Homo-oligomer: A and B are copies of this chain.
Amino acid sequence: MAPKILDEHSLQAREQEIIDAALALIAREGVANVTMDKVVAKVSYSKGTVYKHFTGKEDLLLAIGNQAITIMLDLFFRASQYPGCARERMLLINFSYLFYAILHPALFMSAMCSKSPNVYEKSTIKRVQEQEHLEMKLMGIFFNLIEEAIADKSFTLPPDMDMQQICFANWSLGYGVISLLADEVESCSGRTGLVVERELFNQNNIFLDGLRWGPLSHEKDYKAGLKEALEQVFGEELARMKALGRELNF
């Protein structure tokens, strides 16, 4: 038999098959309970082939993390293109982050787990660099938005903070709220009475009011504006959430 020469395309398709198999397992059993054996059993290739694509378990996890960022990038970009004021779009981006967490719980968990020195150490340099590149693009969306707001005078930087710090502050807000309420994102238990979309909305207003980013929350009905924007930009995502029995409740 003539030796096979694999083209880039089929190699990438195979890589995606492995990632998808891992994601399905993660969704069912959680990141910690997934083994390479189980992944191999789910794909049409052998162990050796899987290890040809990923140098190990951590490298696979990082690849999944990168896929997560790619999906977020799409959501964030769409949100940033909405024809509303800058502050409105900032809120919309943060809500798109929530959609990602709700609609892709396995990706969300994987991305969180992949952000650890242990994973980076054991991964390919190539994939670590890919993550850095993707994160730069993500940051770029925020930077552009903040720059626009500064340009149209709805926001001015506080004297002791630069754009990167504002960007980080907004990011850590969404991250804190969504990751801490992530268990409730899936289950409807609601043991404590905290509703993630409500807290995200309120904290966003408090934060942006604190920054004096106009229009302030008492000057504009951001709740109505957000509902409108969600319908328009994330209609498909809302429908998928409704199908999962998870409707936004604020």
Binding site for B on A (CB under 8 A): 30-33, 116-118, 158, 160-161, 164-165, 168-169, 171-177, 179-180, 183, 192-194, 198-199, 202-203, 205-211
A168 in complex: contacting residue of B30, B32, B164, B199, CB < 8 Å:
B199
User: Can you offer 17 A-B residue contacts whose CB atoms are under 8 A?
Assistant: A31-B118, A33-B118, A117-B183, A160-B202, A164-B192, A165-B194, A165-B199, A168-B199, A172-B176, A172-B199, A175-B176, A175-B179, A176-B176, A176-B179, A208-B210, A209-B209, A210-B211
Residues of B within 8 Å of A192, CB to CB, are 164
* Cβ-defined partner of A172 (8 Å) among B33, B177, B193, B198: B177
Do the beta carbons of B194 and A164 come within 8 Å of each other? yes
Closest-by-CB residue of B relative to A206 is B210
Interface residue from B169, B180, B202, B207 paired with A175 (Cβ < 8 Å): B180
Chain B residues with CB under 8 Å of A202's CB are 158, 160-161, 165, 169
A206–B180 Cα distance when bound, in Å, is: 21
Which chain B residue has the least Cβ–Cβ distance from A122? B32
Chain B minimum-CB-distance residue to A58 = B32
Contacting residue for A207 out of B118, B198, B207, CB 8 A: B207
Are A172 and B180 in contact (CB-based, < 8 A)? yes
Shortest C-beta distance, A177 to chain B (Å), equals: 5
Shortest A16–chain B CB gap in Å is: 26
Q: How far is the CA of A194 from the CA of B139 in the complex (A)?
A: 14
Q: Is A203 touching B172 in the complex (CB atoms < 8 A)?
A: yes
Q: A230 → chain B, closest Cβ, in Å?
A: 19
Measured CB to CB, the closest approach of chain B to A175, in angstroms, equals 5
**Cα–Cα, bound, A108→B169 (Å):** 21
Q: Which residues of B contact A32 (CB under 8 A)?
A: 116, 118
* With A169-B203, A173-B173, A176-B172 as contacts: A117 and B194 at CB distance below 8 Å: no
Determine which residue in A160, A164, A172, A173 has the highest number of CB atoms from chain B within 10 A of its CB, and name it: A172
In whole angstroms, how far apart are the Cα atoms of A171 and B160 in the complex?
23
Q: Complex Cα distance A98/B248, Å?
A: 34
Pairs A-B, 7 closest by C-beta atoms: A176-B176, A210-B210, A172-B176, A206-B210, A209-B210, A32-B118, A175-B176
